[in-house]
Amino acid sequence: MNGNHLVPDQILDCSRANGVEVLLLQAVPTSGNRLVGFDYSAVRTVLSCKEGSARAAIVVLNQDIEVVALQGLSDRHFAVASLRKRHGQAVVFVSAYFKYSIQTHIFTARLGLILDSIDQDVVIGADVNAHSPQWFSRPGNNTGSARGTHVESLIAEKHLTVHNQPGRLVTYERHGMGSSNIDVTLTRGGSLVNSVSEWDVLDITDSDHRTIRFKIRIGSGPEGPAIGKRRFNTRKADWDRFRWVLAQKVLGDPETMVGGCDVVAGALTRALGQAMEASMPRSRKSARIKPPWWDAGLEESKRRLNNFRRTRDYKVADRDQFRVLRNEHQKKIRRAKMESWRKFATSINSDIWGPVYRWARNGSSKSRIPSSVLREDGTFTVTALETAECLLESLIPRDVTAPIFEHDIVERERPEVTEAEVKRAVWRMAPNKAPGLDGITAGVLRKAWGVIGTPLTSVLRECLRRSVFPDCWKTAEVVVISKGQDRDPSLPKSYRPVSLLSAPSKVLERLVVDRLEEETGGALSEEQHGFRVGKSTISAIKSCLDWVDNSQEMVVGVFLDISGAFDNLRWNILIRDMMTLGASDATRSIIQSYLTGRRAVLSVEGATAFADLTRGCPQGSQLGPSLWNLSMDRALVTNNDDRVKLVAYADELAVLIAGSDILDIQGRARATLGALRDWAELRGLTFSASKSQAIPLKGGLRSGFTVPFGAQDIVAVDSVRYLGVELDSKRNFWAHVSIVAGKSESLYSRLRAASSADWGLRQSTSAVIYRAVFLPRITYAAEIWAKGVLTKKAIKLLGSKQRRALLTGAYSTTSTDALQVVAGQLPLDLEIRWHVVRTRRKAGQISEEEMSDQWDRLLDIWQDRWDSSVKGRWTYGIFPDIRRRLVLPLEVDHYVCQFLTGHGDFNSKLESFNLRGEAMCRCETEDESVDHVLYRCPLLSAERDRVIRQIGEDVWPCETKVFMDTRSNYCALRRFAREAIEAKRSSDRLGLVPG
């Protein structure tokens, strides 16, 4: 493709017209980790690498093809993927780019390793930059022939078949550089030798390399098991019809709701599914390949360009004329793209949390193609089914045999279930949260409540009475979520499994959870802070630090990592823990039913793996957190040393050890951690010493010492991240301030790209995002670490990071001091301190009057800084009083912001930053400063007269702060600012410059 950005559109046009399903591309144009020109929802791409330097790619246009990226075999010049059509065999496709400046034997050796690593049939599309009679290429020099020898040796050694045909157009032609056949189509595998047909070379793009097109016939392959997964578009639902159909199914025939718990639960679930099928469309993958900005004008421009290419000698004789047509077409494309982008960016002002915000938060949509994963034997999965099976086996551990429960539990009185209780359970769930396999969301249950409220309550009541959890609600769809962009996608442990469960099943789970917590909550340790009312991550951190502060000795903190905690817990020990903590027979009995016969299904590209569960608490379930708390409580009670403290939040376990010296601490650690290892082993859990951390918290110890943990040691470090807060050995929280200051940078970098003078993100919209997203991210747990913002370097660092969030509409040369005042936002260090004050007031620790006094003190600090600052003095003249600024409801745009800050399209200011060669105004009376433009420039007399009429001739020229006296004064300034800047830009476009 030679990096040509017009080629993708040409290739896609040809693909749409000819039903092309797969593209093998070389020398591809990329932007970051994105393949330029192919980022449409219906197009899936496999890049040869993800570091922004990919040179090869595989593009799949048919959504019915299963695709698995073989990232472990790919590198910068080779994209490798396994493709499989329904009912067909899996075939590995390789797109290879043998770069001319690199010796060919390096590429042939690499391709040989790829071929040795897989057993499947292989299709290779390669730009080999080499010549050989085998692909009908005549070398122009000895170098091309020598390169071809390396490729010929690979073909012979790996038993590859060349499918290039004679008598076709050459695959490469460039004006002044000659022409040749240097692009090769290869296959490996007996079934593919005679399966390639209609091999041809087409001249359809502007690339020097022509397009090779061929058909390939793939043999049949085994089909894996399928699941009845359904997803519905509830936004397009006809809810009246939904309720009518549901009523016919549930109430029309009383016999359908008669029978045992399994029968009735199944009938109710089917009725909901049938009503959804009858009243709302299924969610479908988008099939759009054409970009949203494409229109009839571009279609006509493209038609003329293609017609010229077909009928004229566009590469030689008519080359200049062709270039004019092509450049005009590209110019139209750029205009269409920009207009589409402007509309998209501006939509955030009417839909703040819509697609623009999601793009700013997450970036461009990530690849939807799963990666192959590494098996325990060191080989990579190839097919989608192999990948699904490997992920399920690695992430959902299973015992050889299921645990045997005691089934004849002594009967106890079972509490009744009311319809009001069931309704609360339904409304407690997020309405649009991802559903299980049946597609039923909590939102659907809400809409159905008028019909199913009584029948649903009846079946749930019977389930609790009989201690039966219906089998139809025991199958979980497991989806895997990456633990972070820094994780290797080929390692199964780089993913976290989440179970998607049927909404009706989660209602029953909630009823069981309420009873379980009522029975056992009072017996749980106060140091379990996860999933409990009145407890939080902050209470856990505070408990740790308070204990450290109250200790009179050296203190070391050990923060333990439990490998796959939720997924490994043994059920029989869990039931025993429930009994110890006082769970009733009835509750234990239904939880045994809940655990028995559970299944997990995991799908990759439509290929599904199944597993019968024998251990673990499903992540994503209602019961999972409560069951985990019961087991973790048994860890907390292993400690009986008053110089040791254990604090838990979910599966995060902090061990604080005090002692007279390091030897004393190490001895206590050995005993405490040994007891915890015994607790874990009994429950099928393991601690990871390599991922666990230790840190000195008190007593002057330096990092580098070790804490014994079984056969391994944990080495102490200077800082650790605990529940989102960076704890450092000096307890000054500088490490945390440094980390938190960088949060949301990518968000605001993208929002900046969605802003311009006349379109995009408005300042008022930015302010909403600032307060709803930026500040909560920054101020999380501030009551723990707020003292870290008191130093000068912290204040400076936080201010510099706040700039990006406040820059909307302002020039980047504007000082932070001025930006804070213009935006009406507290300096970030003061904002953090104010958050702590409000948190203390909410907790009842201070009175309303004390909070008001604290607010006044913070404003006094800000005012003192503003008065003494040497920056933003023009802005100071407009807003000398901070309190006055905060009560002004100003709408700030790109134009008026320049007049509020003095930084903008003013020659004098731009010249001071070496951004303009001349400071003189175009009126040629004096340098063009904001003061000159506002008060004296004769070229703006008419615009200024309108301002004077508003302000009053008797006070003109007025002080700049007068513009803030009334709304009409400020509106006059806004109007003048726009007129002045637009007049300046108009004259600049016309070339009217001073002199």
HSE (side-chain half, CA atoms, 13 Å) at 851: 15
Work out the number of other CB atoms within 10 angstroms of the CB of residue 302.
18
Q: What is the pLDDT of residue 287?
A: 61
More confident of the two residues 970 and 175: 970
CA distance 381 to 94: 16
CA distance 582 to 579: 5
Task: List, for residues 101-129, the tens digit of each pLDDT value.
Answer: 999 999 999 999 999 988 889 999 999 99
CA distance 37 to 9: 7
* Confidence band, pLDDT 50/70/90 cuts, at residue 286: low
Q: Across 34-38, 92-96, 177-181, 738-742, which has the greatest mean pLDDT? A: 92-96
pTM, two decimals, is 0.85
Average pLDDT, the chain: 89
Contact 8, 29 (CB under 8 A): yes
- Tell me: pLDDT of 921 over 80: yes
- Tell me: pLDDT of 407 over 70: no
* Confidence band, pLDDT 50/70/90 cuts, at residue 992: low
Q: What is the pLDDT of residue 995?
A: 42
Task: List, for residues 622-636, the tens digit of each pLDDT value.
Answer: 899 999 999 999 999
Taking CA atoms, 33 is separated from 5, 291, 860, in Å, by 16, 19, 48
- Tell me: pLDDT of 40 over 80: no
Which single residue is written with the structure tokens 């039931």?
575
Task: List, for residues 866-898, the tens digit of each pLDDT value.
Answer: 999 999 999 999 999 999 999 998 989 999 999
Task: List, for residues 247-277, the tens digit of each pLDDT value.
Answer: 999 988 777 778 889 999 999 999 999 999 9
Q: Do domains 7-216 and 526-568+608-731 have the same CATH topology?
A: no
- Tell me: pLDDT of 309 over 70: yes
Contact 46, 28 (CB under 8 A): no
- Tell me: pLDDT of 158 over 60: yes
* Confidence band, pLDDT 50/70/90 cuts, at residue 994: very low
Q: What is the residue extent of each domain of the chain? A: 7-216, 296-362, 526-568+608-731, 732-890, 905-995
In the chain, what percentage of residues exceed pLDDT 90?
61
Q: What is the pLDDT of residue 405?
A: 66
- Tell me: pLDDT of 144 over 70: no
Task: List, for residues 87-106, the tens digit of each pLDDT value.
Answer: 788 899 999 999 999 999 99
- Tell me: pLDDT of 792 over 70: yes
Give me the CATH topology for the region 7-216: Deoxyribonuclease I; Chain A (3.60.10)
In the chain, what percentage of residues exceed pLDDT 70?
94
Q: What is the pLDDT of residue 488?
A: 87
> Kindly report the CA angle at 531 between 435 and 458, in degrees rounded to 5?
50
Q: What is the pLDDT of residue 414?
A: 61
Range with the poorest average pLDDT among 36-45, 61-70, 101-110, 232-241: 36-45
Q: What is the pLDDT of residue 652?
A: 92
Q: Which CATH superfamily is domain 526-568+608-731 in?
A: Reverse transcriptase/Diguanylate cyclase domain (3.30.70.270)
Range with the poorest average pLDDT among 29-33, 491-495, 701-705: 29-33
* Confidence band, pLDDT 50/70/90 cuts, at residue 334: confident
Q: What is the pLDDT of residue 451?
A: 95
CA distance 643 to 666: 12
Q: What is the pLDDT of residue 762?
A: 85
